[in-house]
Chain A
Amino acid sequence: GAVVSQHPSRVICKSGTSVKIECRSLDFQATTMFWYRQFPKQSLMLMATSNEGSKATYEQGVEKDKFLINHASLTLSTLTVTSAHPEDSSFYICSARWWDTSYNEQFFGPGTRLTVL
């Protein structure tokens, strides 16, 4: 159980275009989903926290107008990178929290590799 999927797994786009990444919890309801970013040879960095039905909370230094997050249902959150530039090229990973656990246990998706040309 506790499977999280992401789509697409890999995307290449031109500079200036927008890219949408989907994160789905397949077998559980996730009231909270998280978005992380990982640059080569670095650790994961939390970008934002997404609660179903409310606005996302962004970490300091993450532009909310550039990284649009929508969490419209208990099983789906989307991250849209608007007007992408080469410096946005990274590995984007989502995670979801099982709503009925009493622990801060998170289940991660497989990640999306974004390359902006």
Chain B
Amino acid sequence: DAKTTQPTSMDCAEGRAANLPCNHSTISGNEYVYWYRQIHSQGPQYIIHGLKNNETNEMASLIITEDRKSSTLILPHATLRDTAVYYCIVRGGFMYSGGGADGLTFGKGTHLIIQP
């Protein structure tokens, strides 16, 4: 799996957009970028994933650079409940995992703190 690099921590004011960067310079052509977050003492929550096009859902937007070596997760209007550790994970999609699903490798992630 491609290695990812994220800042250790970030602050963001409540109501503003939170932009979380992730570098994945060794990503291969069939690997997706996944984002999960973990609120303290809870299980991780899936946020979004993408291959090469920008993606948006009800939680966030994912912007992937054209060379796919980095991406940014955007929480458009951060709230205090968005305070969590955010994990950027690069992984093959199911169809590229030999037909079987593989466990996720979590790095240290970014601790996002939303300030009131």
Contacts and interface: CB of A to CB of B under 8 A. Distances in A.
B101 A32 contact: yes
A110 B45 CA distance: 9
A97 interface: yes
Nearest to B44: A108
Given A43-B107, A43-B109, A104 B44 contact: no
A43 B97 contact: no
B104 A106 contact: yes
A93 B44 contact: yes
B105 A32 contact: no
Contacts of B91: 104
A79 B101 CA distance: 19
A45 B87 CA distance: 13
A104 B43 contact: no
Contacts of B46: 105-108
Interface of B: 32, 34, 36, 38, 41-46, 49, 87, 91-95, 97, 100-109
Given A4-B43, A43-B106, A106-B101, 14 more contacts: A32-B101, A36-B106, A43-B108, A44-B104, A44-B106, A59-B103, A101-B94, A102-B93, A104-B94, A105-B46, A107-B46, A108-B46, A110-B43, A111-B41
